[in-house]
């Protein structure tokens, strides 16, 4: 830990790579675009007093198909970057960044999955669409404690949001993708399709 309580990084190279990737992503933001959190800020919020280590995985074609079936959507890449937090010697959770298009422009979310495979936190890192399309905090809080099942859907356990339908759909799809990939990588995905 440093004096500010920030997590220790096992790989300074990874930290630089993430910073450069985000700088490239955000380098040409339109005037109305917002970057809400830096990578360091997001990890400090998600994993206070924890060590965070980057892990890269490569999904096999079968794993990718399985994750797509669980998510109900295509998995855009076989290369999966995740950050695993160790807190007081125990698994604190796994964080994933997901960048996806909302309407015509991207947003980036940090989604944290707890050790039981449920959503522990969602942070909007950046949002390039007009802020009118961005739901407020209580809407994102609906995801907390949710796992990947048939009820993780708009109009079921997640309420839609007026005026931000595209953002709600994009967020839901990102969360389902992340939970599906997480299950497949953990080896806990049920065979034969999405959970009932």
The residue range of the domain holding 101 is 12-186
Name the pLDDT band for 33 (thresholds 50, 70, 90).
low
Task: Give me the number of domains the chain comprises.
Answer: 1
Q: Domain for residue 39, yes or no?
A: yes
Q: Domain for residue 73, yes or no?
A: yes
Query: DSSP characters for 4-45?
Result: T-PPPBS-HHHHHHHHHHHHHHHTT--TT-EE---HHHHHHH
With beta carbons less than 8 A apart as the criterion, state whether 152 and 172 touch.
Answer: yes
Q: Domain for residue 53, yes or no?
A: yes
With beta carbons less than 8 A apart as the criterion, state whether 23 and 108 touch.
Answer: no
Region 20-25 average pLDDT = 43
Q: Domain for residue 149, yes or no?
A: yes
Report the candidate in 43, 53, 54, 55 with the shortest Cα–Cα distance to residue 4.
43
Q: Domain for residue 126, yes or no?
A: yes
Cβ atoms within 10 Å of 186's Cβ, excluding its own: 12
Q: Give the per-residue pLDDT at 189.
A: 52
Q: Domain for residue 196, yes or no?
A: no
Of 132 and 13, the structure prediction assigns the larger pLDDT to: 132
With beta carbons less than 8 A apart as the criterion, state whether 158 and 172 touch.
Answer: yes
| Dist. CA 93–CA 3, nearest whole Å | 23
What angle do helix axes 39-46 and 12-26 make, rounded to 10 degrees?
120
Q: Domain for residue 57, yes or no?
A: yes
Asked if pLDDT for residue 195 goes beyond 80, the answer is no
Name the pLDDT band for 35 (thresholds 50, 70, 90).
confident
pTM score of the predicted model = 0.78
Q: Domain for residue 115, yes or no?
A: yes
With beta carbons less than 8 A apart as the criterion, state whether 73 and 177 touch.
Answer: yes
Mean residue pLDDT of the chain comes to 83
Residue with token string 């739901």? 135
């Amino acid at each position: 830990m440093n004096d500010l309580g920030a997590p220790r990084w096992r790989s300074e190279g990874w930290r630089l790579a993430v910073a450069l990737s985000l700088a490239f992503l955000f380098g040409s933001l339109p005037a109305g675009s917002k970057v809400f959190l830096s990578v360091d800020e997001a990890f400090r919020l998600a994993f206070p007093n924890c060590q965070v280590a980057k892990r890269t995985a490569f999904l096999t074609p079968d794993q990718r198909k399985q994750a797509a079936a669980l998510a109900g959507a295509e998995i855009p890449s076989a290369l999966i970057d995740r950050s695993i937090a160790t807190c007081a010697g125990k698994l604190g959770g796994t964080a994933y960044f997901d960048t996806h298009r909302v309407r015509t422009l991207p947003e980036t979310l940090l989604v944290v999955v707890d050790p039981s495979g449920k959503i522990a936190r969602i942070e909007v890192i950046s949002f390039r669409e007009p802020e009118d399309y961005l739901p407020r905090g209580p809407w994102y809080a609906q995801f907390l404690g949710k796992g990947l099942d048939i009820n993780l859907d708009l109009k079921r356990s997640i309420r839609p949001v007026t005026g931000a339908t595209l953002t709600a759909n994009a967020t839901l799809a990102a969360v389902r993708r992340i939970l599906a990939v997480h299950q497949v990588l953990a080896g806990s995905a049920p065979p034969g399709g999405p959970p009932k």
